[in-house]
Amino acid sequence: MRQLTCTGPGQLEWRETPSPVLASDGEALVRPLAVARCDIDLFLARGLFGCEEPFALGHECVGVVEALGDAVRGFEVGQRVVVSFQLSCGACASCAAGHSANCDRMPTLSDYGMQPLSGVEYGGMLSDRIRVPFADAMLRPVPDTLSTAALASVSDNVLDGYRTVAPHLAEQPGSEVLIVGHGIPSIPLYAAQAALALGALRVDFASADPDSLDLAKRLGCRPVETDFERPEGRYPIVVDAGLSPAGLDYAIRSTRPEGILQSASFYPGVSPGASVPVPLGRLYTLGIRFFIGRCHACALLPEVLELIEAGRLQPQDVTTQVVGWEEAPEAFLEPAIKLIIERDE
């Protein structure tokens, strides 16, 4: 089968690889139909996390079930599914606690399409077939009313945006929210959408990027154009989503005393081994609660899909480019807030 492969920094090509097969009765094989480019993918493709050997790209997809092990319940061959980008078992203590990103049975950072991070090649979504080792836990059915392309980014960036605000707005309903987007394109916009859907009083969107500010405005936010030098005000809930220490500092200075600062940043702009300065004295003095960590895809998929099915969240409004499957190697390296690659069939 064919698989989009990164063979070096900025070098993508279709490669022939052996097709995966079912290795146990709890597994599934899925044919990806629509793949979204995650905010981390451009950095991976450009070799920022290293590229010692060729690796498969793509980890956000909606696909169709091609084969199922005998022990998998609740799914059928031919059914459309969202596939968790993180591999997790659904049965260990961490998974049971909702911490599926850190499944006890899998090595850290076990994700599709991110071999440079985990050191393990699980395959990528830009391929003819992927193996899903824990089908019951990692697959969610796609409701008939929803389009394949609309859900392509749900398994990662959409739910990543959602989880930056959902618990905090549940604790402080109707709060004002500030989203600080500084270099990763789609997660801050999905966070803004989720904050509005979850009843934030107002959502301000701070960014230096005109395209992001325009889109934030169309989604219903108040755009705040900034160079991250001087904060506009202070907010009870602030989301840091980006890659620059200046953006994080702006987010911290924009957080009200006793407020919540949630970071979804992975700081790829900071060279490996380097530290990002955090003014702990300020956080301490003002009692700012700082939350950081990866999203938990398997645990969050059901509630995010429910919100989308109810029409309260429309991830397709953040999509800025849709291309055909054959265009993937070129399109994948071009800037776009949210790129979706769709198979025509």
Backbone angles phi, psi at 235, to 5 degrees: -125, 150
- Residue 261 is encoded by which pair of tokens? 């600062």
Residue of 34, 56, 95, 251 interacting with Zn ion (CB under 5 A)? 95
Q: What are the helix (H) ranges across 19-75?
A: 41-45
Identified binder of Zn ion from the candidate list 12, 29, 103, 221, rule CB under 5 A = 103
Look-up of token digits 């979204």: 36
Do residues 319 and 340 lie in contact, with contact meaning Cβ atoms separated by under 8 Å? yes
> Measured between alpha carbons, how far is 4 from 13 in angstroms, rounded to an integer?
6
- Tell me the closest approach of the beta carbon of residue 39 to Zn ion, in angstroms: 7
Q: How far is the CB of 41 from Zn ion (least distance, A)?
A: 7
- Which residue, 38 or 139, is less far from Zn ion as judged by CB? 38
138 contributes a contact to Zn ion by CB under 5 A: no
Which stretch, 26-34, 38-46, 168-176, 270-278, contacts Zn ion (CB under 5 A)? 38-46
Interacting stretch for Zn ion, rule CB under 5 A, among 34-42, 168-176, 220-228, 278-286?
Answer: 34-42
Q: Which of 156, 176, 249, 342 binds Zn ion (CB under 5 A)?
A: 156
Interface pick for Zn ion out of 34, 35, 38, 158 (rule CB under 5 A) = 38
Q: Which is nearer to Zn ion, 95 or 304 (CB)?
A: 95
Rule CB under 5 A: say whether 81 interacts with Zn ion: no
One of 92, 117, 208, 278 touching Zn ion (CB under 5 A): 92
In the complex, least distance from residue 136 CB atom to Zn ion, rounded to whole angstroms: 12
Alpha helix stretches (DSSP H) within 208-325: 210-219, 245-253, 280-286, 297-309
DSSP state at residue 104: T
| Nearest to 201, CA basis, from 230, 233, 236, 226 | 236
- 101 near Zn ion (CB under 5 A): no
**Of residues 278 and 333, the one with the C-beta less far from Zn ion:** 333
For Zn ion, which is the closer residue by CB, 92 or 109? 92
What is the C-alpha separation between 4 and 16, in angstroms, rounded? 9
**Shortest Cβ 184–Zn ion spacing (Å):** 10
Exposure string for 102-121, b = 16+ CB within 10 A, e = fewer? bbeebeebbbbbbbbbeeee
Q: Is 212 helix (H, G, I), strand (E, B) or coil?
A: helix
89 vs 194, beta carbon nearer Zn ion: 89
Q: Applying CB under 5 A, does 295 fall inside the site for Zn ion?
A: no
Strands (E), the chain: 2-8, 11-16, 28-36, 55-56, 60-68, 80-83, 130-132, 139-141, 176-182, 202-207, 222-225, 235-242, 255-263, 289-292, 321-324, 339-342
Find the shortest distance in angstroms from Cβ 102 to Zn ion: 8
**Interface positions with Zn ion (CB under 5 A):** 38, 40, 88-89, 92, 95, 103, 156
